[in-house]
Structure 1
């Protein structure tokens, strides 16, 4: 295996993963801007960093190579001699109102070495930190009305969403909300300029310049032929259809996409908040996405007769659809919280269904979801628990916090 990205399943042994250590950006949240930046609470920085470090160490202890988004971004910018151009691009996407503000910010950001600059951009730039030479009071007033020239990016520690590995390539995503759209620029720069990825024939199945929205939390690689993608609050049906056509028409190994409709609510923002694969024939599932008879609206996309088209079949028997797609004699859906109305809702809110498989039948979960974790163990799954009092405040679990770059292929069964 020589390609820098290679992911043909959700459960193959994890070899390399991309993380982002929470930084100053989560401490730059205030009650007034939490909703704008898609947070429900303000994490305690030192504790969330300790919890994230423990999560990373749990992966390292199992032989996983851990890479960090902030470090790769700085290395890519330096390797591509791209510092000034990167600043120009981030300023283009930061909704700056006047030329003096733009010029002041550019000078400020370029005054740092590259790693510091990346960290400052991710953390957000406060008005009080930048000197603006202007005759307009609106430019030079410190914290009037709104404290930031450039918003913090507190969601960055959820590396799953801005880009998603898929086969020997990836999608670099146009995200649903403005608060997160700048995040995928880091991955684009890494792919274009970092020596580990640039010139390595990595397929970009979909770039960030599309207008329809898609996020990595909705993209699941069931096996080397079949994807499952959520039609959700964050991913549109059009984006899924466009991606399927791109994959089918460009000789990817994927032959089928299962588009799974989930409720359009924040508590279930991505497919992986309600549904993840934990073994060859086992999934976690939040009962809240199923109708009374256990059905889930699912649209099966396959290559059409003509280029640029797909054949779409609607079914609702999700368990049977998955069993057929994975070619297993029996398939088990393990209900979050054991299916109890209160426990399931509580543990799903705290990402009880958001497991990260690091090998077949071995998953990383949050320790707070003890009912779901015990049920996984009773189904023969090895559960590695990590502390989550602060990590969970961002509404994402171990799968959300990780972008697998390389997994071992599953052996033939």
Structure 2
């Protein structure tokens, strides 16, 4: 894969050519009820079933001609280099709050015999305190007893590859996560884009060293001129302004960033949990956000300033205006029925992954919304969702497109 073609995302619906996934592993088995809130998980996942479901979406994508890349495999290629391996482990430990010398040395020794892929899988799965038998105390923190069962926390949200970085045009935003628990997820993307021969030297429109959170589930590339970003539970206005400034200051063709101010609640944690594009002029939307939704347009201003304006009118009119369409069709999750809409939105009924115009991948459990999509001439490819949906994310959340055909 040549550098110039390793990232190319100028829309949400063009034929999907290449995507990044992470197959859930032992990290989801290292969750217990006492630490669900700490690890930002609502329920405990049955791993074997989750793996089967994840393999289903992978198989669907491959059957549609999509090249599927896995995070663990890209990282394993990088970590063949001993210096990069050591740098990565040290940074990972420090961000995981392993800062005492005795514990750091014990973890380094413990990981010494792990192969590159096994190392990545282990760091994602977490390191239990019972696994390190011989820590030579070199600081007070090495000596004090701690009942917490992990020296390094598991990262159960890792199978949601949409959030740590986002492909935009020919570059990426390397994101700052809203919760400290998830920030280690972005280290993997950092190393892929720093060191992997297929991805290094990719432009960055945002970087993880910033102070304001920006997460990938809030970023939708609607066209080669318009990027939509959610002001959400996880993304703040300052980050959206910085992203817009960097896009406009580049050679990219984007002209407008539309900021969607959605309710700041966990149920709607990202824009793509309530709004996704399914065809040239069709979107699926959770009706609960329509009435309180404010939209702001951000454009290039004079002297490298941003021109920001509140957009009057209905969402459908705003989308038509900026996408140059006579009209758009908003397909309401649950058919607009209050009970069905809220039930299916909770299980990501609006979180579709488009693999080409008018063809989307969806959870099979959201039968009301899926049938409505079909009635609007959208081809729906379903897969099982008993376990993956427990993590509060759908097909779009689990995937990071790297290359799509331009429209």
Change (3 A) 1:230 1:135: closer
Q: Which whole-Å deviations, capped at 9, do the CAs of 1:93-134 have from their partners, x for residues lacking one?
A: 111252211221122223312111111100001011013112
Tell me the alpha carbon deviations over residues 108-166 of structure 1, each in whole angstroms, 9 at most, x when there is no partner.
22331211111110000101101311277963688x42000001000010000000100
Contact 2:290 2:315 in 1 (8 A): no
Instruction: Give the whole-Å Cα distance in 2 for the aligned partners of 1:164 and 1:156.
Output: 14
- Superposition TM-score, scaled by structure 2 size: 0.96
Q: 2:386 aligns with which of 377, 385, 389?
A: 389
What is the Cα deviation at residue 91 of structure 1? 1.2
Among 1, 25, 28, which residue is 1:26 paired with? 28
Residue of structure 2 aligned with 1:133, choices 111, 121, 136: 136
Corresponding position of 2:278: 278
User: What is the alpha-carbon distance in structure 2 between the residues aligned to residue 80 and residue 313 of structure 1?
Assistant: 50
State the partner residue of 2:163. 161
Correspondence for 1:149 among 148, 151, 155 = 151
Match of 2:79 among 74, 77, 80: 77
1:251 Cα deviation (Å)? 2.2
TM-score using structure 1 length: 0.95
* Structure 2 counterpart of 1:220: 220
Q: Does 1:101 align with 2:103?
A: yes
Q: Please list every run of 5 or more consecutive structure 2 residues that lacks an aligned counterpart in the other structure.
A: none
State the Cα RMSD in Å: 1.5
Give the corresponding residue for 1:310: 306
Partner of 1:319: 316
Contact 1:22–1:157 under 8 Å retained in 2: yes
Partners of 1:132 and 1:79 in 2: CA distance: 27
CA distance in 2, matches of 1:17, 1:135: 45
Deviations 1:274-318 (CA, angstroms, capped at 9, x unpaired): 000000000000011121xxx6200100011112x2101102421
The CA deviation string for residues 335-370 of structure 1, in whole angstroms up to 9 with x for no partner, is: 000011110000000000000000000000000000
Aligned to 1:253: 253
Structure 2 CA distance for partners of 1:305 and 1:135, relative to 1, 3 Å? closer
Secondary structure, counterpart of 1:164 in structure 2:
strand
1:53 and 1:140 map into 2 onto residues whose CA distance is 44
Tell me: CA distance 1:139–1:282, structure 2 relative to 1, closer, same or farther (3 Å): same
Does residue 92 of the first structure (1) align with residue 94 of the second (2)?
Answer: yes
Are 1:340 and 2:337 an aligned pair?
A: yes
